[in-house]
């Protein structure tokens, strides 16, 4: 079969033996995410026609206003994963604490936990800009048969067995890795099937796009300010192009295809950064490294950070390897 005619289901079956732990559960997790993504995609695409845009009137654990679609996407992904009895625990950016999942036999025999940002960039929904879902999968470290604990979720990113994102844009794509490269699948909405459209995705070694919220420039560390000025200078292949969407998934996806760097540093307004290590940075770092890119906090590898809390925030520099290394150089010199 021609590679690009391959469906996500066929790809999962063919590559199941490549998973680190080949028991079929990881395949079922990806399949569950595929199903939930199709449900959320349907709602996203008709958001302007039904009463599902705007704020829900609640705040999440981070004190951010929850959008109606945030709440909806969170419920869809959680219920899909619980109903299929494949994971033993779920942590979501939208929930205060993790959820313990037990099977219909009241046992805790499943081996994986999943962490997710169910609708990244949801504040962009009202203005018809791309949003996404981000997920990260770990093998539990507490004994099978016991309820999960925070220890199962507070693992460094190097322990991830799978990570991915769904981008709901002009087309809907599911991009994921299980540690053997990165592959992207595009949804054919006419028949509800994801097809392999972007096999073996790779970050260009360098690029000419930098993505950062320059409105916060005055609050950034000096090293970041110096790097931004470097990007803007008329030298060699610069100035670079500034492109910032405000949806991490959309900015990351564009930079992986075209070549670029995404920066969300610390600032005087957000001294620890704004992005969450477990729900956003770790999964995106895993994808970036598997695609030949790099992800750091400005000084060290994101995936080697030992988390201490579920909603921990970290600065995030991610993208084409040479561009991230140059940004690190400016951070080290400042």
278/116 Cα distance (integer angstroms): 8
Give the integer Cα–Cα distance in Å for 263 and 228: 10
Q: Is 263 annotated as a binding residue?
A: yes
Residue 217 known to bind ligand: no
> 3-class DSSP state for residue 176?
strand
195 is in an annotated binding site: no
Task: Give the residue from 258, 298, 307 showing the smallest Cα distance to 157.
Answer: 307
**251 annotated as a binding-site residue:** no
DSSP 279: I
248 is in an annotated binding site: no
**121 marked as binding residue:** yes
Query: What count of other Cβ atoms lies within 10 Å of the Cβ of residue 45?
Result: 12
- Is 274 part of any known ligand binding site? yes
CA distance 88 to 115: 11
d(C-alpha 140, C-alpha 17), whole Å: 20
- Residue 237 among known ligand-binding residues: no
Q: Is 97 annotated as a binding residue?
A: no
Question: Is 277 annotated in some ligand binding site?
Answer: no
Q: How far apart are CA 90 and CA 162, in angstroms?
A: 14
**Residues whose CB is less than 8 angstroms from the CB of residue 38 and which lie 6 or more positions away in sequence, other chains included:** 187, 192
- 244 annotated as ligand-binding: yes
User: Given the DSSP bridges, would you call strands 260-264 and 241-242 parallel, antiparallel or unpaired?
Assistant: unpaired
120 is in an annotated binding site: yes
With DSSP H G I counted as helix, E B as strand and the rest as coil, what are the percentages for the chain, rounded to 5?
35, 25, 40
Q: Annotation-wise, does 69 bind a ligand?
A: no
42 assigned ligand-binding residue: no
As annotated, the binding site for Mg(2+) includes 93, 117, 119-120, 280
As annotated, the binding site includes 93, 117, 119-123, 213, 244, 262-264, 274, 280
As annotated, the binding site for substrate includes 120-123, 213, 244, 262-264, 274
């Amino acid at each position: 079969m021609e590679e690009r005619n391959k469906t996500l289901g066929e790809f999962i079956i063919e590559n199941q033996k490549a998973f680190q732990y080949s028991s079929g559960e990881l395949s079922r997790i990806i399949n569950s995410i595929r199903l939930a993504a199709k449900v959320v995609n349907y709602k996203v695409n008709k958001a302007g026609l039904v009463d599902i845009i705007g704020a829900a009137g609640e705040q999440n654990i981070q004190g951010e206003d929850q959008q109606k679609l945030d709440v909806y996407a969170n419920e869809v992904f959680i219920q899909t994963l619980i109903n299929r009895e494949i994971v033993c625990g779920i942590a979501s950016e939208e929930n205060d604490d993790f959820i313990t999942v037990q099977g219909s036999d009241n046992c805790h025999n499943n081996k994986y936990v999943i962490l997710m940002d169910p609708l990244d960039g949801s504040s962009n929904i009202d203005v018809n800009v791309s949003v996404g879902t981000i997920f990260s999968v770990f093998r539990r470290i507490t004994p099978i048969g016991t309820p999960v604990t925070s220890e199962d979720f507070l693992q460094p990113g190097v322990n991830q067995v799978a990570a991915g994102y769904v981008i709901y844009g002009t087309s809907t794509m599911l991009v994921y890795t299980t540690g053997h490269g990165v592959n992207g699948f595009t949804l054919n909405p006419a028949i509800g099937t994801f097809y392999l459209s972007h096999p073996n995705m790779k970050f260009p070694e360098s690029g000419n796009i930098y993505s950062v919220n320059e409105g916060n420039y005055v609050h950034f560390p000096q090293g970041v300010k110096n790097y931004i000025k470097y990007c803007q200078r008329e030298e060699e292949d610069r100035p670079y192009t500034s492109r910032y969407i405000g949806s991490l998934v959309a900015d990351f996806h564009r930079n992986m295809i075209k070549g670029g760097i995404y920066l969300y540093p610390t600032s005087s307004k957000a001294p620890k950064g704004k992005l969450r290590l477990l729900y956003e940075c770790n999964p995106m770092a895993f994808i970036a490294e598997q695609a030949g890119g790099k992800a750091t906090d400005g000084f060290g590898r994101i995936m080697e950070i030992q988390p201490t809390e579920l909603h921990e925030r970290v600065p995030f520099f991610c993208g084409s390897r040479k561009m991230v290394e140059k940004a690190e150089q400016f951070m080290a010199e400042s």
